[in-house]
Amino acid sequence: MIPEVKKEVIDLGDGRTISIETGKLAKQADGSVVVRMGDAMLLATVVSAREANPNVDFLPLTVDYREKFAAAGRFPGGFFKREARPSDNEVLTMRLVDRVLRPLFPKDYHAETQVMIQLMSHDNEVMPDALAGLAASACIALSDIPFEYPISEVRVARVNGELIINPSKVQLEEADIDLMVGASIDSVAMVEGEMLEVSEKEMAEAIKFAHEAIKVQCEAQIRLAEKVGKKAVREYEGEREDEEVAKKIQEFAYDKCYAIAKANTSKQERSEKFAEVKEACKELFTEEELEENEGLIGKYFGKAQKEAVRNLILDENIRLDGRKTTDIRPIWCEVNYLPSTHGSSIFTRGETQALATVTLGTSREANVIDLPTDQGEEKFYLHYNFPPFSTGEARPIRGTSRREIGHGNLAQRALKNMIPADCPYTVRVVSEVLESNGSSSMATVCAGTMALMDAGVQLKKPVSGIAMGLISDGDKYAVLSDILGDEDHLGDMDFKVTGTEDGITACQMDIKIKGLSYEILEKALNQAREGRLHILGKLTEAIPSAAANVKAHAPKIVKVEIPKEFIGAVIGPGGKNIQALQESTQTTIVIEEEGNLGIVEILGVDQQGIDNAIEAVKAHTFEPVVGETYTVNVIKVLDFGAVIEFVPGKESLLHISELAWERTNNVTDVVNVGDVIDVKYIGLDPRTKKPKVSRKALLPRPERSERPERREAKNRS
CATH number, domain at 193?
A: 3.30.230.70
**pLDDT, position 237:** 86
Q: Are residues 424 and 351 in the same domain?
A: yes
Both 110 and 95 in one domain: the answer is yes
Write down the pTM of the prediction.
0.85
Q: Are residues 683 and 597 in the same domain?
A: no
Domain closes at, from 488, 511, 542:
542
Residue 618 CB: number of other CB atoms within 10 A?
15
The residue count for the chain: 717
Q: How many CB atoms lie within 10 A of CB 223?
A: 12
Enclosing domain of residue 592: 556-621
Segment holding 248, helix H or strand E: helix 243-262
What pLDDT shows up at residue 616? Answer: 87
pLDDT tops 90 at residue 39 = yes
CB distance 178 to 262 below 8 Å:
no
pLDDT score at 370:
86
In one-letter notation, the amino acid at residue 58 is F
**Residue-level pLDDT at 651:** 83
* Domain boundary residue, one of 593, 621, 649: 621
Whether 708 has a pLDDT exceeding 70, the answer reads no
Same domain, 370 and 503: yes
Question: Last residue of some domain: 588, 621, 654?
Answer: 621
Q: What is the pLDDT of residue 565?
A: 87
Q: Are 200 and 183 found together in one domain?
A: yes
Phi, psi of 491 (to 5 degrees): -85, 175
pLDDT computed for residue 121 by the predictor: 96
Q: Is 374 annotated as a binding residue?
A: no
**Number of other residues whose CB lies within 10 A of the CB of residue 542:** 19
pLDDT of 57 reads 83
Type and span of the H or E element at 45: strand 40-48
Contact of 562 with 597, CB cutoff 8 Å: yes
Residues 20 and 48 reside in one and the same domain: yes
In whole angstroms, give the CA distance from residue 417 to residue 419: 5
pLDDT-derived band at 166, boundaries 50, 70, 90: very high
Are residues 42 and 143 located together in one domain of the fold? yes
pLDDT tens-digit map of 59-103: 999 999 999 999 999 888 877 888 888 999 999 999 999 999 999
Q: Could you list the beta-strand ranges (E) of 619-662.
A: 629-638, 641-647, 650-655
Number of domains in the chain: 5
pLDDT-derived band at 383, boundaries 50, 70, 90:
very high
Does 31 share its domain with 137? yes
Share of residues in the chain with pLDDT > 70 (%): 98
475 annotated binding-site participant = no
Dihedral sign, Cα of residue 201, residue 206, residue 209, residue 213: negative
Phi, psi of 206 (to 5 degrees): -65, -40
Average predicted confidence (pLDDT) for the chain: 91
Q: What is the pLDDT of residues 256-308, one digit of tens each?
A: 999 999 998 888 888 899 999 999 998 888 888 888 887 888 889 999 999 99
In a domain, 360, yes or no: yes
Close Cβ partners of 244 (under 8 Å, ≥ 6 residues apart): none
Residue 712 belongs to a domain: no
- Spatial separation of the C-alpha atoms in residues 682 and 679, rounded to whole Å: 9
Task: Please report, rounded to a whole number, the percentage of residues in the chain having pLDDT higher than 90.
Answer: 61
Q: What tens digit of pLDDT does each residue of 456-465 get? A: 999 999 999 9
CA 625 to CA 620: how far, in whole Å?
A: 15
Contact 224, 141 (CB under 8 A): yes
User: What is residue 450's three-state secondary structure?
Assistant: helix
Instruction: Indicate whether 48 and 22 sit together in one domain.
Output: yes
Question: Has residue 251 been placed in a domain?
Answer: yes
568 in a structural domain: yes
Written as one letter, the residue type at 638 is: L
Residue 443 lies in a domain: yes
Beta-sheet strands, E only, within 458-611: 464-473, 476-481, 493-500, 503-511, 556-563, 587-594, 597-604
Nearest alpha-carbon partner for 489 in 289, 271, 699, 683 = 271
Q: How far is CA 63 from CA 48, 139, 153, 302, 532, in A?
A: 12, 13, 15, 27, 33
Cβ(442)–Cβ(467) below 8 Å: yes
Average pLDDT rounded to a whole number, residues 480-498: 88
Q: Is the separation of the CB atoms in 18 and 42 below 8 Å? A: no
Same structural domain, 580 and 633: no
For the chain, the straight-line distance linking the first and the last C-alpha, in angstroms and rounded, comes to 115
Q: How confident is the model at residue 717 (pLDDT cuts 50, 70, 90)?
A: very low
Residues 50 and 187 in one domain: yes
Q: Over the stretch 606-632, which tens digit does the pLDDT of each residue have?
A: 989 999 998 888 888 787 888 889 888
Each residue of 403-427: pLDDT tens digit? 999 999 999 999 999 999 989 999 9
pLDDT classification of 709: cutoffs 50, 70, 90: low
H helices then E strands: how many in the chain?
Answer: 15, 29
Residue 526 shares a structural domain with residue 635: no
Determine, yes or no, domain membership for 235: no
SS (H, E, C) 138-193: HHHHCCCCCCCCCCEEEEEEEECCEEEECCCHHHHHCCCEEEEEEECCCCEEEEEE
Whether 600 is covered by a domain: the verdict is yes
pLDDT in tens, 326-340: 999 999 999 999 999
Tens digit of each residue's pLDDT (9 = 90 or more) over 661-670: 888 889 898 8
From residue 629, give the alpha-carbon distance in Å to each of 665, 675, 690, 696, 697: 25, 16, 18, 12, 10
Question: CA dist 148 to 172, 185, 473, Å?
Answer: 33, 12, 21
Whether residue 254 contacts residue 308, with contact meaning beta carbons closer than 8 Å, is answered with yes
d(Cα 510, Cα 513) in Å, to the nearest integer?
A: 9
| pLDDT recorded at residue 540 | 95
pLDDT of residue 542: 96
CA angle 399, 400, 401 (to 5 degrees): 110
pLDDT 10s digits, 535-576:
999 999 999 999 999 999 999 888 888 888 889 888 988 888
Average pLDDT rounded to a whole number, residues 224-231: 92
For the stretch 185-208, pLDDT in tens is 999 999 999 999 999 999 999 999
pLDDT above 70: residue 234? yes
Task: Please report whether residue 451 resides in a domain.
Answer: yes
Tell me: pLDDT of 714 over 60: no
CA distance readout (Å), 44 to 12, 66, 121, 135: 21, 10, 13, 6
Is the pLDDT assigned to residue 512 strictly greater than 50? yes
**Other Cβ atoms closer than 10 A to 376:** 10
Q: Return d(Cα 183, Cα 171) in angstroms, integer.
A: 23
The pLDDT value given to residue 705: 54
- Specify whether the CB–CB gap between 35 and 134 falls below 8 A: yes
Domain of 669, CATH number, reads 2.40.50.140
Can you say how many angstroms the Cα of residue 592 is from the centroid of all Cα atoms in its chain? 24
Q: What is the mean pLDDT of residues 517-531?
A: 88
Contact 125, 38 (CB under 8 A): yes
Q: Residue 713, class by beta-carbon neighbours within 10 Å (0-12 exposed, 13-18 middle, 19+ buried)?
A: exposed
Q: Which amino acid, 368?
A: V
